């Protein structure tokens, strides 16, 4: 059954309510504590094969320019948390994988982005990639999560997750172990 404009408007208003925002804040806090490893938490995730346009879809929904290329681009999960507030702010962190050593976790938790300008989002992702240790030859994917919280008067209450694209077999550029890692991120 098709939704009327009134129905769509009501649904959109409900998504932007302060109660909805508070609920998402609690869910995001639980996710930041790692509870999502034990209990599935609700989230909007765009997943699919490599170079199928996932980041472009999220860019259109969020209004934030994700880095996109013809070749492999997304190497780790990026959690984009959009919240409505009276004053604009941005908070950028890396949530280390539980498999990291304590020293590596401390280094990633101390990550300082090169800019807090959301228009420089691709630059922020590149800096996170470097901090995480992603390169073309030794480590192509990571279980670490780049967490960006963007607040402002025109932001919706929404949390989006950009994931690496799924690939089904190993190649000279990507191993079967990496395919398993990406699949585990998507699940």
- Give residue 104's pLDDT band: very low, low, confident or very high (50, 70, 90): very high
Displacement of CA 141 from its chain's centroid (Å): 14
Q: What is the mean pLDDT of the chain?
A: 75
Asked whether the whole model's pTM tops 0.95, one would answer: no
Q: Does 41 have pLDDT greater than 50?
A: yes
pLDDT for residue 94: 94
CA–CA separation, 132 vs 143, rounded Å?
9
- Compute how many other C-beta atoms are within 10 angstroms of the C-beta atom of residue 136: 8
Q: Does 151 have pLDDT greater than 80?
A: yes
Higher-confidence position of 115 and 69: 115
Stated length of the chain:
187
């Amino acid at each position: 059954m098709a939704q009327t404009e009134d129905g769509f408007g009501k649904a959109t208003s409900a998504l932007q309510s302060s109660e909805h925002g508070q609920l998402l804040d609690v869910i995001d806090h639980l996710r930041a504590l790692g509870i999502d490893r034990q209990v599935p938490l609700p989230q909007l995730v765009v997943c699919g094969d490599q170079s199928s346009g996932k980041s472009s879809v999220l860019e259109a929904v969020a209004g934030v320019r994700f880095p996109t290329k013809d070749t492999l681009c997304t190497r780790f999960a990026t959690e984009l948390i959009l919240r409505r507030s009276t004053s604009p702010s941005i908070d950028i962190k890396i949530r280390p994988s539980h498999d990291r050593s304590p020293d590596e976790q401390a280094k990633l938790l101390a990550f300082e982005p090169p800019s807090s300008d959301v228009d420089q989002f691709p630059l922020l992702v590149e800096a996170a990639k470097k901090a995480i240790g992603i390169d073309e030859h030794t480590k192509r994917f990571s279980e670490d999560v780049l967490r960006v919280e963007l607040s402002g008067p025109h932001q919706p209450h929404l949390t989006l997750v950009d994931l690496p694209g799924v690939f089904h077999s190993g190649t000279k550029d990507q191993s079967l172990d990496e395919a398993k890692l990406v699949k585990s991120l998507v699940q």
